[in-house]
Structure 1
Amino acid sequence: MFDDLQLVKMSVRILRFWSLIYDHNWSRYICLSMGTFLVLSQFYYMFGTSEGFQAKIKNSYALVLWFSTILRGYLLTYDRQKYEEFLSDLENLYYDLKKSKHKHIQRLLIEVNLTGKNMARGNLFLGFCTCIGLTFYPLLTSERVLPYGSMIPGIDEYKSPYYEFCYIYHVVVTPMGCCMYIPYTSLIVAFIMFGIVMCKSLKYRLETLQFMRHDDLLLHKNIKECIQYQLRIIDYIKRINDLTTYVFLVEFLAFGALLCALLFLLISVKTFPERIITCAYITMILAQILALYWYANELQEESFAIAATAFETEWYTYPIPIQKHMLFIIMRAQKPPAIMMGHIYPISLQLFQSLLNAAYTFFSLLRGIYV
């Protein structure tokens, strides 16, 4: 499946292995139930532990990641049919472009496949390294600790045999969470990357209109096809928003608060290793959201650039009926579709900067109060 569509192939195969899409078997219930139990035990720990705020902030990082993972898993399962239909339409859109004889469009497809495949592999490798670090860290300490801060009512998780049971449970569930969180991220970013390719393909088709200016019928036919393709791009981005917009909103709020807390933790810890770990947490948060915001910003810019490309075709020299069609393309492109956060605000690098500014502002406030 998706042999030619390398930008989503790996992510789809992993999500299918856990039966979150396409298949429906026992593996779905295992990964979701085990992950849900871990999240509940983490919430119980956050409200019931007597440890200091530094330990709570450290464990809140894992809690936010796991909560986001489980949220993605349940939403992916709930909207499984919509995702499968979207992937089928994505495949059709891909092969429609692949039928084109233009070398520029073929090069775009090769580039997006290579970039998407390398991104999926890189994200999975980083997730694998994170899993190793989380699961082997307790073995290197002089006292008993668990990969994640969790508590089970009525059980002292630091006494044998409960400690060994909890540790094995965390080790087993960690790769499951990685295989739900990482492929989903790679899949959504791949959707956005293909949207960018669609915008670039439309721009290229608009640029080639100048070679048809002496054949009004052919020019009119191609402009109509450009309008139809522009509407397909708008519908494509709208469907991405319908599937992901509220996930992005929850993660924006959660990661913003967590980033602020980690910055405060950075000036509170005393030892050098603790600062290194805190810096690693901050770096991983920024890395997780930067790729999404980067490509979402590029998609918005490419959508807006369609208007400039259409205007540069010297559309005002065309016959009046064709000018009206070109005006439709220009006017619609001036309100470019974008990946939205909660159907409220477009995801862009400007939003990413606002997130950093807000986190630093609250961090400065906390530092002034407590330090």
Structure 2
Amino acid sequence: MELQGMPTEEMPIFGSTLKLMKFWSYLFVHNWRRYVAMIPYLLINVTQYVDIYLSTESLDFTIRNVYLTVLFTNTLVRGILLSLYRGHYEQFLELLKGYYLQLLNSTDKHIQELLAEATRLSHSIGRINLLMGTCTCIGFVTYPIFGSERVLPYGMHVPVIDKYASPYYEIFFVVQAIMAPMGCCMYIPYTNLVVTCTLFAILMCRVLQHKLRNLQLLPVSRVRQEIIWCIRYQVKLAGLVDAMNGLNTNLHLVELLCFGAMLCVLLFSLIIAQTIAQTIIVIGYMVMIFANSVVLYYVANELYFQSLYISIAAYESNWMDFDVETQKTLKFLIMRSQKPLAILVGGVYPMNLKMLQSLLNVIYSFFTLLRRIYG
């Protein structure tokens, strides 16, 4: 199947992710759409910080406003980085497209199955994330309806006029309701992009494992050439992961801090929620934020171990039947595989489930402290 002329955003493994980014002009095109979403979001985010500083509202709404402010900041950072480094992201996606087409045109049935499996998983995760984002947007709008006081979906400071007086309240409510899905289009597709790229790196690891485990099926004269191909493919894989870290590692650090702050605030909001409906909505927020982060950390954790399994696959290839030169070449590949590939946070710490567990322990400690102070 030759699809060399296929546009990058049409790669099946990405589903609708890149198409959404293209529509909002974060990638592939440069027009007014990104500013329609980002400039109002930036203005609202500034007013959110001012509103928190000047807030005289009840504690439950202040806590919720802190959560939404951090979430908006995180969303804005994603959109701004995509816009600033658009060229770097597009170059990276072109590189990934070349590797994708190479696997797509493979005649090996097992590789085709691995690619189809990775595509299905990417589509499923993307749809689930979009569904959770939609539910969260609905939660933004409906939460104030169940409150005991008149409040907006998310806090904002409006000088001079009373934002809770009609008709200003209704106007601001409608504007904020419209802005919620725009923010979702900045937040969720970026997560799906990172997850899909990580899934593709995992796919490349599994392709390498498959090639190495089947070395004994090749003619003796071809074994060493196949191992050399695997070494070169391993270099490409390491380069792909390095490129991913170069684009996203600092953002991963920011999001680690944001995730900790948001989850801690939501746990506290869960305690002080005034009605059952508010409790349900807060739980929905927690599920969305937690699931979003767990998926990222899970696939990064899987990449870490799948890269280590390459050396195990090489060892299981009946290497003792090869000639000395071929054994030396295979040993070189095994040595390279001893250093696992990792998605880094802040360019230092590997993103994995152990790190997520440590973060959750810290969050629970801060939550306990808040509960003792304000309980």
Using structure 1 for the length normalisation, give the TM-score: 0.94
- Equivalents in 2 of 1:126, 1:283: separation in Å? 8
Specify whether residues 260 and 125 from structure 1 end up closer, same or farther in structure 2 by C-alpha distance, changes over 3 A only.
closer
Counterpart selection for 1:47 from 53, 57, 70? 53
Alpha-carbon deviation of 1:271?
4.1
- Equivalents in 2 of 1:37, 1:148: separation in Å? 13
The residue aligned with 1:15 is 21
Counterpart selection for 1:298 from 299, 302, 314? 302
The residue aligned with 1:315 is 319
C-alpha RMSD of the superposition: 1.9
Secondary structure at 2:152 match in 1: coil
- Equivalents in 2 of 1:266, 1:331: separation in Å? 50
Residue 147, structure 1, aligned to residue 147, structure 2 = no
The residue aligned with 1:166 is 172
Residue 267, structure 1, aligned to residue 260, structure 2 = no
Instruction: Map residues 97-136 of structure 1 onto 2, 5 A cutoff.
Output: 97-136=103-142
Deviates more, 1:59-68 or 1:316-325: 316-325
Q: Which amino acid aligns with 2:45?
A: V
Counterpart selection for 1:68 from 71, 74, 78? 74
The residue aligned with 1:215 is 220
Unpaired stretches in structure 1, ≥5 consecutive residues: none
- Equivalents in 1 of 2:70, 2:171: separation in Å? 23
- Equivalents in 1 of 2:323, 2:136: separation in Å? 61
Q: Which amino acid aligns with 2:254?
A: V
- Equivalents in 1 of 2:372, 2:152: separation in Å? 33
CA contact (8 A) 1:303 1:336 kept: yes
Deviates more, 1:18-27 or 1:263-272: 263-272
Residue 240, structure 1, aligned to residue 237, structure 2 = no
- Equivalents in 1 of 2:148, 2:325: separation in Å? 79
Q: Which amino acid aligns with 2:194?
A: I
Deviations 1:16-56 (Å, cap 9, x if unpaired)? 11111111111111111011111111111111111243222
Deviations 1:304-331 (Å, cap 9, x if unpaired)? 1111111111324422222222112111
Specify whether residues 43 and 135 from structure 1 end up closer, same or farther in structure 2 by C-alpha distance, changes over 3 A only.
same
Residue 180, structure 1, aligned to residue 186, structure 2 = yes
% identity of equivalent residues = 41
Residue 34, structure 1, aligned to residue 34, structure 2 = no
Alpha-carbon deviation of 1:262?
2.5
Residue 56, structure 1, aligned to residue 62, structure 2 = yes
- Equivalents in 2 of 1:368, 1:163: separation in Å? 35
The residue aligned with 2:199 is 193
Q: Which amino acid aligns with 1:273?
A: A
The residue aligned with 1:284 is 288
Counterpart selection for 1:340 from 344, 363, 367? 344
Alpha-carbon deviation of 1:336?
0.8
Specify whether residues 278 and 299 from structure 1 end up closer, same or farther in structure 2 by C-alpha distance, changes over 3 A only.
same
Alpha-carbon deviation of 1:141?
5.6
CA contact (8 A) 1:2 1:9 kept: no
Deviates more, 1:115-124 or 1:11-20: 115-124
- Equivalents in 1 of 2:309, 2:167: separation in Å? 62
Q: Which amino acid aligns with 2:188?
A: I
- Equivalents in 1 of 2:115, 2:37: separation in Å? 34
Specify whether residues 365 and 151 from structure 1 end up closer, same or farther in structure 2 by C-alpha distance, changes over 3 A only.
same
CA contact (8 A) 2:143 2:281 kept: no
- Equivalents in 2 of 1:369, 1:35: separation in Å? 33
Q: Which amino acid aligns with 1:314?
A: N
CA contact (8 A) 1:123 1:182 kept: yes
CA contact (8 A) 1:6 1:114 kept: no
CA contact (8 A) 2:45 2:72 kept: yes
CA contact (8 A) 1:307 1:334 kept: yes
Deviations 1:118-137 (Å, cap 9, x if unpaired)? 22222222222222232244
Q: Which amino acid aligns with 1:12?
A: L
Alpha-carbon deviation of 1:281?
2.4
Residue 157, structure 1, aligned to residue 152, structure 2 = no
Using structure 2 for the length normalisation, give the TM-score: 0.93
- Equivalents in 2 of 1:126, 1:257: separation in Å? 20
Residue 84, structure 1, aligned to residue 90, structure 2 = yes
Secondary structure at 2:298 match in 1: helix
Deviates more, 1:359-368 or 1:343-352: 359-368
Name the count of aligned residue pairs. 369
